[in-house]
A and B are shown apart, each in its own frame.
Chain A
Amino acid sequence: KQEVTQIPAALSVPEGENLVLNCSFTDSAIYNLQWFRQDPGKGLTSLLLIQSSQREQTSGRLNASLDKSSGRSTLYIAASQPGDSATYLCAVTRSATNKLIFGTGTLLAVQP
């Protein structure tokens, strides 16, 4: 059974810092991995999707990497801003379906 773990569970950083969020999964036979952010009262927003054949994806200040063989992904946030404060979730799919298996998330607080 696929299990997805995110470390740390919570993180507080001053504005302007670069930071890394970690995601690990127990079964390397994934189809893709996605990173989401969740804001209170607003549901989830997809940030980046990395297909299993890819090593990384970038969007603005965000860069996500995938090492499928070791069962790890990282989300790098450059020059953090208070608006980045949210819960960040990673999720994997096993096959060509949209059945997402989520981690427990990292609660990020960026202090002004």
Chain B
Amino acid sequence: ETGVTQTPRHLVMGMTNKKSLKCEQHLGHNAMYWYKQSAKKPLELMFVYNFKEQTENNSVPSRFSPECPNSSHLFLHLHTLQPEDSALYLCASSLIGTSGTDTQYFGPGTRLTVL
């Protein structure tokens, strides 16, 4: 266990549904991250939050809406997704997001399938 949990582990949704992914870290970290891992493509950074403030949005479509109410919790709200959004969504945390030498601790991921 890395100290980062994600729920649900698997999610199947239709294109008109609204759902949310949840990430929680128990490590006392201040930075949290969302990544997307699609088949045959490199793992891709989506968002970074540092001390609850969004510091990075990697040109992510607005149908993905992140929320970070505190340093321990991170959500990814999903609406009107496309089948090509099917992927493994990974959450990570690190002590701070600006050092360049922090180790990121990853959760197990949510496997999302959009029908």
**What residues of chain A have their CB less than 8 Å away from a CB belonging to chain B?**
4, 31-32, 41-46, 49, 51, 89, 91, 93, 95-105
Contacts and interface: CB of A to CB of B under 8 A. Distances in A.
A45 B101 CA distance: 15
Interface residues of B, number: 29
A99 B4 contact: no
Given A44-B92, A46-B105, A102-B42, 6 more contacts: A32-B100, A41-B109, A49-B101, A98-B48, A98-B97, A104-B40
B104 A104 contact: no
Nearest to B43: A102
A13 B96 CA distance: 38
Nearest to A94: B100
B33 A98 contact: yes
A45 B99 CA distance: 19
A44 B90 contact: yes
Interface in B72-115: 90, 92, 94, 97-109
B26 to A, nearest CB: 15
25 contacts: A31-B100, A41-B109, A42-B108, A43-B108, A43-B109, A44-B43, A44-B90, A45-B2, A46-B105, A49-B101, A51-B101, A93-B100, A97-B98, A97-B100, A98-B94, A98-B97, A98-B98, A98-B99, A99-B56, A101-B45, A102-B42, A102-B43, A102-B44, A104-B40, A104-B42
B21 interface: no
Contacts of B41: 104
A34 to B, nearest CB: 8
A17 B99 CA distance: 37
B42 A98 contact: no
B90 A98 contact: no
